[in-house]
């Protein structure tokens, strides 16, 4: 373990918590397209998203959306409030498309190379 830590492969440790047990039964996948890619627009968007606790992950994408977010919410009203008070207030948002996950088929934290080596 110490060798993996020293090599930067292990970056830290965390507890796995049950999202629903913590009061967040809703998972949203949110695709966002920006109206422009000016540096100030991108920086403002990314900074606000980084500061938003309900956004667990934010990926910079290729294809039709510029970003895909994984968001958790306590209710549909909670999610609506996040969109109206946080995301829509940012300048440069061209579109927001949300899908709600109603189940999890697989959620792994093991990288393929680690699984192959039996780590």
Instruction: State the pLDDT confidence band at 70, using cuts at 50, 70 and 90.
Output: very high
Percent of the chain with pLDDT over 70: 95
What's this model's pTM, rounded to 2 decimal places? 0.86
The ranges assigned to domains in the chain are 35-101
Number of H helices, E strands in the chain: 4, 4
Residue 115 pLDDT greater than 80, yes or no: no
| Whole-number Å distance between alpha carbons of 19 and 107 | 13
State which fold the 35-101 domain adopts.
Answer: Alpha-Beta Plaits (3.30.70)
DSSP for residue 67: E
Digit-coded pLDDT (tens) for 75-113: 999 999 999 999 999 889 999 999 999 999 998 888 887
| Whole-number Å distance between alpha carbons of 26 and 9 | 31
């Amino acid at each position: 373990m110490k060798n993996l830590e020293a090599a930067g492969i292990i970056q830290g440790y965390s507890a796995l918590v049950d999202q629903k047990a913590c009061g967040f039964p809703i998972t949203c996948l949110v695709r966002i397209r920006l109206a422009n890619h000016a540096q100030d627009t991108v920086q403002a968007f990314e900074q606000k998203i980084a500061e938003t606790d309900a956004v667990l992950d934010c990926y910079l994408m290729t294809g039709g959306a510029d970003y895909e977010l994984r968001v958790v919410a306590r209710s549909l009203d909670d999610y609506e409030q996040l969109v109206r008070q946080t995301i829509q207030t940012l300048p440069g948002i061209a579109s927001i498309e949300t899908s709600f996950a109603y189940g999890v088929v697989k959620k792994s934290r093991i990288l393929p190379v680690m699984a192959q080596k039996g780590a």
